[in-house]
Amino acid sequence: MSAQASKEIKEPLFRITKRGSITAGKAWAIRGLALLGALLTGALLILLLGHNPFEVYASMISGAFGKKIAIQETVKLTIPLLITGIGLAFAFKMKFWNIGGEGQILMGGVAASAVAIYGTSLPHVPKLLLMATAAIVVGGLYGMIPALFKAKWGTNETLFTLMMNYIAIQFIMFLQYQPAWQEERTSFPKIRMLDASAYLPKVFGVHIGWIISLILVFVAYIYIAKTKHGYEISVVGDSPNTARYAGINVSRVLIRTMFLSAALCGLVGFLQVSGSDGTLTENTANGVGFTAITVAWLAKMNPFAMVLVSLFIAVLERGSSSIQTSHGIPSSAASLLTGIILFFMLGCEFFINYRLVHRGKKGEN
């Protein structure tokens, strides 16, 4: 057997090649097919559970938008996802993998709660402003720690930020046993409810965090796309060596940007304790720090696209909760349905950047 024949036999049936470019229309067509595939796969799961897929999907939409209170709850779920997604995108754009959004949210919640608990005599507006400031600063400083280690000793930021999530959780559990923090009316450890003066005002039935989040969308876009700092973030993300050659202080950009990233997560902690929950628990972040990673990646780090993506995920979460009640679908199956849809939407990004080429064909786009 010739060498050429041996090579042809060993060549795989399909191979993966990177696309040089792709039109916007083709990219959206791939996303549309992925959504259709997700819905069909989800429908199969629903059929296996003994339910009508059309009715279940209709209930999911109704659960998210069917009533005024449903819309308000959906918006409340969207707010932390959007702001955290924007914060994480700052770090991701410079290839700093901040997986510590959960811990940064929790530490922001700790700082905001401390102001509310120890500053009970403060007037309403000054108290809220001080709570927000404390949450932003503490969250930012907490996120700066892995950035400092990365800049000084080149530590792995993925593991570092991930482990700091658990430190924040344990710190909150420690605070539950402290007399100044503990709820006196319960027999189990729980941080006390905040008084009414620490609650955010509402607009259209939802706390003003939704206004803050929309303002941050515009501010983040301007910061990334129109400022020197945003340009430095992009250069550092593309190539730290090129950034150094251009005279950019990479360590300073790293630390500054990570502070901003974590500060926005800290702000979410304030919005959660003051706007949604009225207290602080180890579940205040409730997985937002991890889900927001999906928001940032699906939106390609674009703050405007994050509005739609975070709303989409909030609809899935709210809808999956609704079908548990309306159709008696187990929570595990509802979560699986949500996971299937998100898996397809994330997976389609692979086929936007890469393509499968059949044996014997060249890898043109």
- Tens of pLDDT, residue by residue over 214-233, are 999 999 999 999 999 999 99
With a cut of 80, say whether residue 363 has pLDDT above it: no
CA nearest to 268, candidates 89, 99, 109, 72: 109
Categorize the per-residue pLDDT at 203 as very low, low, confident or very high, splitting at 50, 70 and 90: very high
Give the β-pairing of 14-18 and 206-207: unpaired
Residue 68 counted as domain residue: no
Alpha-carbon distance 275 to 109, whole Å?
A: 11
What sign results for the dihedral spanned by CA atoms 85, 90, 158, 110?
negative
Nearest CA to 142 out of 182, 188, 110 is that of 110
Res. 360 pLDDT band, cuts 50 70 90? low
7 occurs within a structural domain? no
Number of domains the chain contains: 2
Closest CA to 265 of 20, 91, 130, 64: 91
pLDDT beyond 60 at 153? yes
Q: Let me know whether 224 and 353 are in one domain.
A: no
* Angle value at C-alpha 315, between 266 and 44, nearest 5 degrees: 130
For the cut 60, the answer to whether the pLDDT of residue 5 exceeds it is no
Q: Per the domain annotation, does 4 fall within a domain? A: no
Same domain, residue pair 129 and 91? yes
Same domain, 212 and 354: no
Residues 334 and 193 in one domain: no
The pLDDT of residue 321 is: 87
| Predicted pLDDT at 359 | 63
Query: Is there a contact between 342 and 37 (Cβ–Cβ < 8 Å)?
Result: no
Is the per-residue pLDDT at 304 higher than 70?
A: yes
pTM over 0.85: yes
Q: What's the whole-number mean pLDDT along residues 63-86?
A: 93
Same domain, yes or no: 363 and 228: no
Same domain, 87 and 215: yes
Say if residue 350 is in the same domain as residue 228: no
d(CA 305, CA 221): 11
Residue 358 pLDDT > 80 = no
What per-residue confidence (pLDDT) applies to 362? 53
Residue 21 has what pLDDT? 74
pLDDT over 70 percentage in the chain: 93
Q: Are residues 248 and 341 in the same domain?
A: no
342 and 314 within one domain? no
CATH code, domain carrying 185: 1.10.3470
Query: What are the percentages of helix, strand and coil residues in the chain, rounded to 5?
Result: 70, 5, 25
69 assigned to some structural domain: no
Query: How far is it, in rounded angstroms, from Cα 261 to Cα 76?
Result: 21
Tokens 């009225």 -> residue: 278
Asked if residue 301 and residue 241 are part of one domain, the reply reads yes
81-133: per-residue pLDDT in tens?
Answer: 999 999 999 999 999 999 999 999 999 999 999 999 998 889 999 999 999 99
Asked if residue 350 belongs to a domain, the reply is yes
> Are 336 and 317 contained in the same domain?
no
Query: Has residue 159 been placed in a domain?
Result: yes
**Band of pLDDT at residue 3, cut at 50, 70 and 90:** low
| Predicted local distance difference test score (pLDDT) of residue 186 | 72
Query: Is residue 60 one of the residues assigned to a domain?
Result: no
pLDDT tens per residue, range 8-41:
556 676 677 777 777 878 888 888 898 899 999 9
Domain that holds residue 45: 16-51+329-365
Domain co-membership, 186 together with 334: no
Residue 251 within a domain? yes
Whether pLDDT at 209 is above 70: yes
Would the pLDDT of 329 be above 60? yes
Q: Give the residue, 362 or 29, on which the prediction is more confident.
A: 29
